[in-house]
Structure formats: structure tokens, C-alpha cells
Structure 1
Amino acid sequence: MKRKAMSLLLVLILAASVFAFSACSGDDGSGDEGAAEADTIKIGVFGPTTGPVAAYGSAVVESVKLAAAEINEAGGINGTEVEIFDYDTQADSTEAINIYNRLKDQDQVHAIIGGTISSETLAVKELAIADNMPMLTPTGTAAEITVDAPSIFRACYLDPYQGKAAAQFALDSLGAETAAILYNSDDAYSSGIAEAFRDAFNESGEVTVFEGYTANSVDYSAELTTVQNENPDIIFLPDYYQTVGSIATQIRDMGLEQTVVGVDGWDSVEIDYAEQVEGYYFVNHFAKTDPSEVVQNFIQAFQDEYGSEPNALGALGYDSMHVMAEAISNASSLSREDIVAALSEVEYDGVTGTIKFDEQGDAAEKNISIIKLVDGEHVLEDTVSVE
């Protein structure tokens, strides 16, 4: 009887020990998991792979997977294979929040590459800060993404940076003295770049038209009539490629002959609107015609895997996966705290240039490619560095 009681007591003690260990090992927000304890290194990716800007989210997801496959083929990160968990936000901020929570709670990822567009990245910003989640947005250009966000990093340049670069190019290379700006007043990305361009251009030239349209606009004749009456030297159009294609079509239909200058959101506009955007310019994160080995190797690998050419957002997604891998490789453990610390120290020479983070987590000192659209192709016109 004593032996049975003692055996029961031992069972209860062991059960209590197992329960206590399990409780200590649960997700307490720190993400404390050593490399030796992880079967795979789990990386979450989110962005719009369907909807109006599907070309962007798809490019990022595909390029992250391509980079992860290369890393795994080379032996993984410190011998541990990378596992990708990717989800479609449909460019919806509420869906982005749901996906973030799923990545953290269900998939229990070690780090996140995302979001693809600024609005969805901003939607999960406060959650990532509270969780100290290592998060690297490849392509979220809104300046406020990394403000007071110690666990969030950015691989691309900022919206104000590309607005200034576009203004500098219009003034110095195109010789423009006057400019019209048409922008989406419902979108922080479009309006933020518009303001940056206006402020920079007005230092040496004059913005004579500053007209906003709404996100659901389909007829831009009122705004374009204002442009026609003012007759500026150039038109600046900071928006995403589908809207740009529609506006460019109406610009041609109205017989406006001004050169139009755009931003990174134009990437892929030539797929459906090559004739309408012929001879126009836009700023971008890399140039497909860059002869450097790292760029051409990436383009060839992407074509071999997916049968098409990558866009600039794909290049940033590819670089971001390699940056994250380098950080995790250098981190003392797989805890969120250690990965965040390692990310702040990374310096990586990639397809889109050198990625080295400043104190706010932004990629510092990145050059901007000026692309001219010719016969449906990207032609590198110039490279701009903004002070």
C-alpha cells in the first residue's frame, strides 16, 4: 500500500514538472527558443497576392521563397532549414492584422518579412512593437513605419526620399521649371510623396497644379483639364500602376504632351499600358538592365523558377530574406530580442544595393534608379542620390 502511494506521488510530481516546463516554454511574447531546439526557422510573409496590386505581393512572396530555397540548398541557417509561411492580405488592413496574429500565435514564426504595401504594414505596427516581433518590410515606404518601432526595419528607401529624387531629376535632367502634381488624396503613400516632391521642386521651380483625386475615381478629366490650362513642363503622378495606367490613357486621349514622372508604384505598369506610358520616367529600387552579377543572377534565377521577369519589389523581397537569414545566423539565439539586435548590425550587399540600417531601422544611403519606359521595357536613365 505504501509502495502504491509512493508510486502515485512520483507520478503526480513528474506530471507537475512536465506541466511547469510546458508553461515556461509557452509563447510569452519573448520568442525565447534556441537554435538547437528549433526543427525549422519559421519566417512569415504577408502581402497582397490578389486584388489591384497583386503583382507586388506576389513578387515579394515568390522572391522570398526563391531566396529561402537557395539558403536551404546551401545548408540552411546554421544547419537549420528555413520554413516560409505566406498569406494574402488582399491589400486589406484588417486582413493584415488577422494574418499577423495567425503568424505569431498559430504558426509561431521567429520573424516576419512584410508587409508589402505601407497601409498593411502600418496596420500591424503597434502589434509588432508590443510583441517585439522582428519585422522587416521589403517595400513599405511610408516614413512613419519605423518611427518609435525598435523591432521594425525597412529594406527600401522612404517616400520622402523618392519624392525628392523625382523632383531633383525633373529639375536637373529634364530641365523642368513648372510642374503639375496629381495624387490620390485617400492614400498616405501617394499624398506623402506628392508633398515631398512639391516641397523639393518649389525650391528651384514652381508647382502650378496640386490636384487630388479619390481612390474610387475613374474619370480624371477635371484634374487633367486644370493641367491643360496651366500647361506645366511636366506632370508628377505618384500612385500605383493600375491607376497610373488609367490616368496615362486619359492623358494621351486629351492630347497632353507633357513628360510624366512617377514613383516605384509604377513598376509593372508597362505590362498592360506600354503604349500609354511610352517615354515616361519613374524612380525605382533597381534596374533590370543593371549589368552587375548580383542583379543578373537574381533575374536569371527568378526566370528559371517562375518563367517571368521579377519587378523591383521582388528584388527587395529577395534581399530581405537574405538580410533576415544573415541576422538570424549572427543572433545569439532565436529569441526575438536577439534577432532584433542582430538585424540592427546587418550590412548586406544585395540586388537593390547595400542594406545597412540606421538608428531608426531604415536602409541608409540607398541610391535611386531613374527608369525610362521604352517599348514596354525598363531602360536605366540615371542614378540619383539624395542628400
Structure 2
Amino acid sequence: MQNTNSGQVRAGLSFLVTVVALGAIVGLAGCDGGGSAGSGDTIKIGEFASLTGATASFGTASHNGAIMVIDAANAAGGVLGKKIKLITEDDQSKAGEAATAVRKLISRDRVVALLGEIASSRSLEAAPIAQQSKIPMVSPGSTNPNVTKVGDYIFRVCFIDPFQGTVMAKFTLNSLKKTRVAVLTDVRQDYSVGLSQYYKDYLTKNGGTIISEQSYSSGDQDFKAQLTSVKAADPEVVFVPGYYNEVGLIVRQARELGMNVPILGGDGWDSPTLTQIGGPALENTFFSNHFSVEDQNPVIQNFVRDYRERFKKDPDGMAALGFDAAKVLLDAMTRAGSTEPAKVRDALAATVDFQGVTGKISIDPERNATKPAVVLAIKDGGFHFAETIAP
């Protein structure tokens, strides 16, 4: 019995060794062949975006812009002689999903770079994972300054909230000639909290006064209590740096209460859904943005034409940013002559005067984009150019 058992043990061990060895061979084959993001004939780039959920307009638009770039590059032969595969994960506009998506893109799909997100809170979830893995991440539109502070592999092609807040404060003081302001902030969004603070800082240091501050949370539907308090303070302007879903309701309810003063915001307003929700109540409102379809620059008009032809609608600022983020990333790979993440990172950091749809993009030492902003006025249901404000 003992000898028989010993033979069975030896046979079992032999079988186990064989299985482990085969597994190692398969694993190595996977690492060398289709599993390596920059090997073979394909370059894998990951994208995480809110394609569904509360801010789906943002993710859908930025994704549209990105796929325009990828498809055009592939039609022209790809990058470094290889075709590009864009692997997109929907974070559903939910907290926690961006981190899950990025872990999957890096560990399972083994992408060499990442595009995303628009919302700052979701970029802040994902950025530490990209940084730890040393995978370059380019955010199209996360404007909270903390995003790129995560580390030297995190970049963006948009301006940041200290600049955007200053832009709208300057517009309040210099263009509207108003000084008494009420501020309504979404306390659940890093974007809104930060932008409110930068707006208030510049305004109060340059002759303005904040006479009322109110807060709300993403997903709220009724803002009458906050707006009643704001109305009692009798402001000349109301600043609402939130996202389009709530902003449309806030403006409608403000007008219902008889508040006809200018209402201002940031690029989080930029969605066709805003006008669907707010309707005529949005007259006499203004927001900062990254570009205007009315700009006659040939680079912009070519983009607008191609976007309209493909998607049968006008592009918004998030589409333009998604386009620019993908273009800047592919340009960095081309200049690096490699898809090795460290080399791509270095090339991204060296980006100077790249001509994008949203302006000339130069990446500063903090990996932020230095570029102008535009202010758009909402009139007759459309977004119309008001003015440009330089850095």
C-alpha cells in the first residue's frame, strides 16, 4: 500500500509540474504576443468615460472626439507603423467605477496609455492607479488642479479651475460691471467646490462682494429653499459652477422665483442637455468654455464640419477636448518613437504649441495646459461666443 501511494504521489507531482510548466509557457506567450499593448501590429490605448448615467453627455462627446482621431490615424497607417486599438470602459458616472475601469484596462488589457475622464472626481479616483502603474493618463477636461498633482504620469489638455474661476470673475467685474454676487455650489463635486473658491478669491480681491453662499448636492431636484435665500440677499449676479443636469433646473427655478439677474457658470454647463432642461429660462446666462463652434479658425471649422458629418450634430467643448487629448497623445508617441510608457510620458511633458481645436496647447511643469478660455452666452437656445480671455 505504501509503495502504491508513493507512486501515486510521484505521478501526481509529475502531473502538477507539467501543468505549472505549461501554464508558465502560456503566460509567457500571452506576454509576448497579443497581450502586450505595444507589441505585434497593435497599440492599445485605454479610455474611461461616463457613457451612461448622470453625466453621459460629457463622456459620449469626449469619446466621439477621441474616436475621430483614432479612426483618422488608422486610416493613414496608424502610429509608428502600427494600428491603434481604443479600449473604452464606461464608468457609468458613478463613484468608484472609474478606478475599477482603470485597473481593468491596465492589468487585463495592458494598455500603454489612458484617456479620461472629464469629471474631476472620477479622474482623481483613477489617477493614483495610473501613477502607481506608471501609465501616462491624459484627461480631456478635468479642471480641478489636484488631478495632475497626483504624479508625473498625469496630464490634461484643458485649462484648470484657478484660471477658469478668474475668467468668470473678470467677466463679472469687467464685462458685466457687477460686484454683488451670490454663489451656489455642488458640495459633492470637487470641480464645483474648487471652482467656487477660485472665483470667490479673485472677485473679493478685486472689488467684488459675496453676499450669499448656498450649497446643494448632485442629484437634487428642488432648489427653491436655497434660491429663496439667494433672492433675499438681492445679488446682481449668481454664480453656479455645477454640472448641466442640476444647473438647468436651478436656472428654471430661479426664474420662476422672479430672479432675472445674470447667472454664470463654468464648463460643466457645456451640454445640449442643458438647454433641453433649462429652455427659455437660460436667457441672460453665461459660462466659460474651451472653444466656440462660431470661431472661424480653419482648424476649428474643419473639426466642426467633420463632427457634424459623422454625428449629425454640433460638437460641444467636451468633444473638442476629447479630440485634442487623443491628438496630443498620438503626437507624443510619434515624437517619442516608442509606445514605452516612460518615453511617452517624457514626450507629453515636452509638448509645446501643439495646435489643437481648443487652442495652442503647451504643457507646463505641473502637466497642465496653458491656453485661453472663451465665454459663451446662451441666447435663443444656442451657445454663442461672447469673448476670449487669455491666461
TM-score by length of 1: 0.90
1:331 aligned onto 2:333:
no
Contact 2:120 2:191 (C-alpha < 8 Å) held by counterparts = yes
Match of 1:293 in 2: 298
Match of 1:303 in 2: 308
Q: CA deviation at 1:71?
A: 1.1
Match of 1:147 in 2: 149
Contact 2:44 2:85 (C-alpha < 8 Å) held by counterparts = yes
Match of 2:360 in 1: 354
1:252 maps to amino acid: R
Indicate how the Cα distance of structure 1 residues 177 and 248 shifts in structure 2: closer, same or farther if over 3 A, else same.
same
1:382 aligned onto 2:387:
yes
Match of 1:254 in 2: 257
Q: 1:312 aligns with which of 309, 317, 324?
A: 317
Match of 2:201 in 1: 199
Match of 2:94 in 1: 92
1:177 maps to amino acid: T
Q: CA-to-partner distance for each residue in 1:164-222, whole Å, 9 max, x for gaps?
A: 11001000000001100011122211111111111111111111111112334322122
Equivalent runs, 1:74-153 vs 2, <5 Å: 74-153=76-155
Contact 1:289 1:378 (C-alpha < 8 Å) held by counterparts = no
Indicate how the Cα distance of structure 1 residues 98 and 382 shifts in structure 2: closer, same or farther if over 3 A, else same.
same
Match of 1:265 in 2: 268
SS in 1 for 2:96: helix
Match of 1:236 in 2: 239
1:161 aligned onto 2:160:
no
Distance 1:324 1:297 in 2: 20
Indicate how the Cα distance of structure 1 residues 33 and 357 shifts in structure 2: closer, same or farther if over 3 A, else same.
farther
Aligned length in residues: 367
1:145 maps to amino acid: V
1:223 maps to amino acid: Q
Unmatched tracts of structure 2, length 5 or more: 1-19
Distance 2:164 2:75 in 1: 36
SS in 1 for 2:281: coil
Contact 1:263 1:283 (C-alpha < 8 Å) held by counterparts = yes
Contact 1:34 1:335 (C-alpha < 8 Å) held by counterparts = no
Q: CA deviation at 1:25?
A: 8.4
Contact 1:148 1:360 (C-alpha < 8 Å) held by counterparts = no
Match of 2:220 in 1: 217
Contact 2:78 2:84 (C-alpha < 8 Å) held by counterparts = yes
Q: CA-to-partner distance for each residue in 1:78-111, whole Å, 9 max, x for gaps?
A: 2211111111101123211111111112211111
Distance 1:94 1:45 in 2: 16
SS in 2 for 1:283: strand
Q: CA deviation at 1:148?
A: 4.3
Distance 1:40 1:20 in 2: 22
SS in 2 for 1:208: strand
Indicate how the Cα distance of structure 1 residues 195 and 130 shifts in structure 2: closer, same or farther if over 3 A, else same.
same
Q: CA deviation at 1:20?
A: 8.2
Q: CA deviation at 1:249?
A: 0.8
Distance 1:38 1:154 in 2: 29
Distance 1:227 1:323 in 2: 43
Q: CA deviation at 1:226?
A: 1.7
1:280 aligned onto 2:285:
yes
Contact 2:46 2:113 (C-alpha < 8 Å) held by counterparts = yes
1:356 maps to amino acid: S
CA-based RMSD of the aligned residues comes to 2.3
Contact 2:377 2:386 (C-alpha < 8 Å) held by counterparts = yes
Match of 1:363 in 2: 369
Contact 2:303 2:357 (C-alpha < 8 Å) held by counterparts = yes
Match of 1:11 in 2: none
TM-score by length of 2: 0.89
Match of 1:3 in 2: none
SS in 2 for 1:150: coil
1:62 maps to amino acid: N
Q: CA deviation at 1:33?
A: 6.7
Unmatched tracts of structure 1, length 5 or more: 1-14
SS in 1 for 2:280: coil
Q: 1:43 aligns with which of 23, 42, 45?
A: 45
Give the fraction of aligned pairs with identical amino acids, expressed as a percent.
31
Contact 2:37 2:44 (C-alpha < 8 Å) held by counterparts = no
Match of 2:16 in 1: none
Q: CA deviation at 1:287?
A: 0.7
Q: CA-to-partner distance for each residue in 1:207-244, whole Å, 9 max, x for gaps?
A: 11111123343221221112211111101010001100
Distance 2:383 2:224 in 1: 28
Contact 1:34 1:333 (C-alpha < 8 Å) held by counterparts = no
